[in-house]
Amino acid sequence: MMQKIIMDMDPGIDDAAALSVALNDPELDVDLVTTVSGNVTVDKTTINALKIINFFHDGDTVPVAAGVQDPLVKPFEDAARIHGESGMRGYEFSDDLPSPLKKTAVAALHEHIMNCEEQVTLVATGSYTNVALLLSEYPEVKSKLSRIVAMGGALGRGNMTSAAEFNVFTDPDAAKIMYQSGVPIVMIGLDVTKRALLTNETLEEIQNMNRAGKMLHDIITSDGDQSENGVAMHDINTIFYLLHPEDLITEPMWIDIQTMGPANGATVGDIRGAYHNGETNADVAVDIDAAAFNRWFKTEVQNMKK
């Protein structure tokens, strides 16, 4: 049975790679893509989402709706230093693109979720501004969401500050609303995404598989977040979790979001279960089979029809 998903994202190289896999895997039905500012501004993330969809669909498009430009409270800070000024450097895509929907991301999310006969999974791989506005303005969608699978956060060291991961740091106030919403959440944070690097061997192999492999190789190797052991493609881990949850270890816990001071954007997990009367609000990924992740990604690329 196919999983119906909606993707809210800020492409961004790792978002683009996650979207590429989601569009091609037969077990996933991408119903809608909404965009938000994060890696770059929302006008650029929207274009990048359309480029990836057009690359694989040739006009038979998945609808895309553009979201908000600014975080709820704090000033916007992008990650162009990592992803380039366009947000998706490394490959020349066609400029003949379909248009995004005229409605806003929040309006599109509300309409699509309420019109779904079954519950839908929302995959959030950017800042959570659209998600927070949706849950605040249209609380009736909560019963239609089976879960939110969110890339972001860290129980340990962040990548924006010593405490904060980028997606949560970009709009911590939105993250707080999401984690307090009561919707089931799976947190895929740096605790696993920094372990599941796409290795240099994997990247070398995919570039000769097909046109899609060449495209993914070129954008991924343009990412500024690289080490001698490979590239952290954080957002693809959400798709890996959807399809192979057995290859990740998750632990239920309560996640609090810090929204001020030097720890602004930190995700604080009640790892001892000592607070919140034993309640939890997220399943937090704490370990991953990195070798299985690389094997899976290569298989996904090999099976892409481009």
- How deeply is 31 buried, as exposed, middle or buried, from its count of CB atoms within 10 A (0-12, 13-18, 19+)? middle
Two tokens, residue 253: 């816990």
Q: Collect all residues with Cβ–Cβ distance below 8 Å to 166 and sequence separation of at least 6.
A: 38, 79, 152, 158, 159, 160
How far is residue 22's CA from residue 30's CA, in Å, rounded to a whole number? 7
- Strand residues in 14-155 grouped as ranges (E): 28-35, 64-66, 120-124, 145-151
Closest by Cα among 131, 234, 235, 238 to 183: 131
How far is residue 82's CA from residue 67's CA, in Å, rounded to a whole number? 22
Q: How many CA atoms lie within 13 A of 240 on its CB side?
A: 33
Question: Would you call 17 helix, strand, or coil by DSSP?
Answer: helix
Catalytic residue among 83, 110, 112, 234: 234
Q: Collect all residues with Cβ–Cβ distance below 8 Å to 214 and sequence separation of at least 6.
A: 207, 208
Whether residue 234 lies in the annotated active site: yes
Question: Would you call 290 helix, strand, or coil by DSSP?
Answer: helix
Helices marked H in 42-120: 42-57, 80-83, 105-115
User: Could you tell me the CA-to-CA distances from 288 to 183, 216, 291 in Å, in that order?
Assistant: 24, 22, 9
- What's the residue count for the chain? 306
- Residues catalogued as catalytic: 234
